[in-house]
Amino acid sequence: MSKREWKLAYYPLPVILGACLLLTSLEAHAQPAGPLGELSPIADFDGAEAEGADVYTPMLPADAGLGCPSSWYVHADAVYMANEANGPLSLAQEFALGEFAYEFGGRVTVGRRRDCLEGWEATYVGPMRWDVAGEFTGVDLYPAFSAAGGVDISAFNAAEFQRQTYKSKLHSFELNKRCWDWDTMGGLLGFRYLNIEDEFTFFSRDILPGPVEEGLFAVETANHMAGVQAGLDLFNNVGASGRLSLVWKTKFGFYANFADGDALLINAGAVELDNEDSNFQLAFLGELGFSARFQVSRCLFLRAGYEIWYVAGLAQSYGQTVSPLTPSTGTNLDSGNDTWYHAGTVGGELVW
């Protein structure tokens, strides 16, 4: 297993384990709701505690005696998401890559609701993948970058063929403590891990004069973001039946981003650059969304909505492509990039 594969495989583990341990500790120290019918002292009208007096009132549980037994729920959504990380992007003079298109992914949430007011849930979004490619054939094609310090890019100059590709992917995992104010408002506090990676490649072929020369310049970046988040949901029932409800949601979090990147340049079979770097960056993610929820039966709901994500504090490939290329290119990772995501969602919810 390579160093990069090892990072991708094991970076999430300490985050997830740490989240589980801390949330379990919070649960253990939480004060449980009193059982139905338990008696507790109350204050008299003068504000003094009527301890020892015959002034008692029943302490109701979190469901206020209306019946809100613990339950499980699963949300499953198709996510049709756009990535605004590029567009247009190019290291060639003759053509540029277009913007990423919308791509399908998924979101699955599994939750446990203890009563009307409290619960836990875990959410995964992904795998989201985007890619765009373009190529050009002509005469005397040149790159949009130069070289210095003895770096040779002869295969990129006066070329006859050029090809560029840009790929990006996203995974997100959340573990949240949920609270509800009956059917009007909900909040969350929890942990989130995001993995955002991308790769840019520029291939060039120089045919004449002399022997064929091929060149490849590639930049890869990976972001491993872990941190805390909070969110708020507002619910509004529509109509007398209450089957249709509208939901406005917002979520934001601050994360420690452990980013790394690689830069590779091969010219006419010779490796001119093969550098890597990593750094730590404080990152931010904010979400805004709107959705509609329709109750089909006692246990089944249909959902549809639209949402926007903003992420700052990223290392992305296009942010590393500086000119001129020197022997130190790729040894100073820039993790100050940002991007937008926006998506339409359609799915269902099962409660039991």
Q: What would the pLDDT profile of 230-289 be if each residue is shown by its tens digit?
A: 999 999 999 888 899 999 999 999 999 999 999 999 999 999 999 999 999 999 999 999
Tell me, what's the pLDDT at 3? 44
User: Is residue 47 included in any domain, yes or no?
Assistant: no
User: Is residue 1 included in any domain, yes or no?
Assistant: no
Domain that holds residue 193: 67-351
User: Is residue 40 included in any domain, yes or no?
Assistant: no
Total domains in the chain come to: 1
Tell me, what's the pLDDT at 5? 44
Whichever domain contains 292, its CATH number is 2.40.128
Residue-level length of the chain: 352
User: Is residue 273 included in any domain, yes or no?
Assistant: yes
- Look up the pTM and report it: 0.79
Tell me, what's the pLDDT at 71? 92
Q: What is the DSSP letter of 6?
A: H
Higher pLDDT among residues 313 and 68, named by residue: 313
Give CA–CA dist 148/153, Å, rounded.
10
User: Is residue 49 included in any domain, yes or no?
Assistant: no
Strand partners, 218: 201, 264
User: Is residue 17 included in any domain, yes or no?
Assistant: no
User: Within 10 Å of residue 141's Cβ, how many Cβ atoms?
Assistant: 21
Calculate the average pLDDT of the chain: 84
Tell me the per-residue pLDDT of 133-145, one tens digit each, with 9 for 90 and over: 999 999 999 999 9
User: Is residue 48 included in any domain, yes or no?
Assistant: no
Tell me, what's the pLDDT at 87? 64
Burial class (CB in 10 A: 0-12, 13-18, 19+), 29: exposed
Using an 8 Å Cβ cutoff, are 108 and 127 in contact?
no
Q: Is 15 helix (H, G, I), strand (E, B) or coil?
A: helix
User: Is residue 131 included in any domain, yes or no?
Assistant: yes
